[in-house]
Amino acid sequence: MKPTVRAPALRGSRHLLAAAVCLCLWSCAVNPVTHEREFVLMDEAQEVRLGEQAYPVYTQQSEGLFPDPDLQSYVDRVGQKLAGLSHRPSLAYAFNVVNDSETNAYALPGGKISITRGLLVRMENEAQLASVLGHEIGHVTARHAAAGYTRQVLAGLATAVGAAAIQVSGVRGGEWLLQGGALAANLVLMKYSRDQERQADQLGMLYMTRAGYNPDGMVQTMEILQAASSREPSAIEAMFQSHPLTSERVATARALAARQAPELRTAQRLRAAPFRQATARLRAVQPAYAEMDRGLKALADDRADEAARLMAEATRRAPDQALIWAMRALAESRAGRSGAALEAAERSAKLDPGLYRARLTAGVLAFKADRYRESLEHLDAADKLVPGQPTVTFYRGRDHEALGRRDEAARAYAAVLKKVREGEMAAYCYKRLVAWGYIKPAR
Ligand SMILES: [Zn+2]
């Protein structure tokens, strides 16, 4: 039995779209006032633009790309194959593996999709990977984020965020992040409804079977996640928050898989061998990341010495992983060893100059070691990777101040105060700007 083109899922997504359009018309009809007219359903161009702007930032927030170009292109190839067979084949899809230890996968509007190292390392074959990517593509093709956004706006929940969305349309870089970031955060962290999850599962299975994968891969993925969840609930939390996995979902997937053509349900079509080959490096360094995660836990519990010891062990096991060196720098710094901390941070930035965390850590630690020019170099790089973050701007100001460049420092401090109003950082900026006569003290 070949997958039919007019699958129920396709009709479902049309219904959803129709419903969303109705909501919008209803909203415009009720409130045809100028600023109300701005709260329209996100159109495709806006969706694409938002995804494109948020993708690099989200990738950095998820600890950057896992450093294995071959694996990155493998995952992208699998994703593109599915996307090309989806209901919105002409979107500019992108797929990457982010270096987050959490088990998760997410889709930004417009087809920008990420899967974490933490999820990928639990998988055994390409059909399982295809099921996750297909599910995320399903959220994109059915425009769940756009529908959720419209719903939130209409419910009055997203007024502030809605305003940010409008700014996004005329955006260029910097100022966007904090506000637009909140919007994007909303879209990504949005909890999908049960209906949307069901629909994404249906779409995912449709796409993966069209691509010739064994549909049992989807059932296997769900079983892996369920098993992991009963062993260590917190590890799967992020995934389950955005994509609640109910026993009904698993049963439905199982029934759906059973209805697919028998020639699809072969071991061959799970494609285990190419997957194992593509993920060999990932699995080889995973023990080091597990050690790093234990270190982070120790750090969170204020056991800095133990954290530093665990991080040192992790870097010994996988000395080429930039993220682990950055985390070691954090631990060494908290343990009061600033020399070792800076050294680890420099090593991290050298291994992966495109890793925001590495640049930020090296920049701050270099400032604290009075190495202002090196610090500026790292922080400028960090600012290019994720524009306009107050901490980065603040330390750039401190570097400029230390180098005697008062105007540049003042500009940075003023930029910080535009985004942060409270806390030590803001207090410092305010005090300096007053002392230098750039602003008058408030009475
Ligand atoms: Zn989902």
Delimit the domains of the chain by residue range. 8-272, 286-435
Of 287 and 229, the one with more pLDDT: 287
Can you give the pLDDT at residue 28? 35
Coil/strand/helix, residue 279:
coil
Q: Which two tokens stand for residue 59?
A: 């990738």
**Which of 5-9, 140-144, 177-181, 269-273 is the least confident region?**
5-9
CATH fold of 286-435: 1.25.40
CA of 118 to the centre of ligand 1 (A): 17
Pick from 106, 176, 95, 115: which is nearest to 144 by CA?
106
Q: Which two tokens stand for residue 242?
A: 């955005």
CA of 234 to the centre of ligand 1 (A): 18
DSSP summary character for residue 193: P
CA of 395 to the centre of ligand 1 (A): 39
Q: Look up the pTM and report it.
A: 0.83
Dist. CA 208–CA 201, nearest whole Å: 10
- pLDDT (average), residues 160-186: 37
Q: Which two tokens stand for residue 168?
A: 């996004």
CA of 146 to the centre of ligand 1 (A): 14
CA of 194 to the centre of ligand 1 (A): 9
CA of 104 to the centre of ligand 1 (A): 10
CA of 266 to the centre of ligand 1 (A): 26
CA of 142 to the centre of ligand 1 (A): 11
Instruction: Mark out the alpha helices in 155-270 (DSSP H runs).
Output: 159-169, 176-189, 194-210, 216-231, 233-242, 247-258
CA of 175 to the centre of ligand 1 (A): 30
CA of 197 to the centre of ligand 1 (A): 5
CA of 135 to the centre of ligand 1 (A): 6
pLDDT band at 147 (very low <50, low <70, confident <90, very high): low
CA of 226 to the centre of ligand 1 (A): 15
CA of 123 to the centre of ligand 1 (A): 17
pLDDT band at 19 (very low <50, low <70, confident <90, very high): very low
pLDDT band at 152 (very low <50, low <70, confident <90, very high): low
Q: Which residues share a beta bridge with 112?
A: 94, 108
Q: Which two tokens stand for residue 175?
A: 């100022």
CA of 201 to the centre of ligand 1 (A): 7
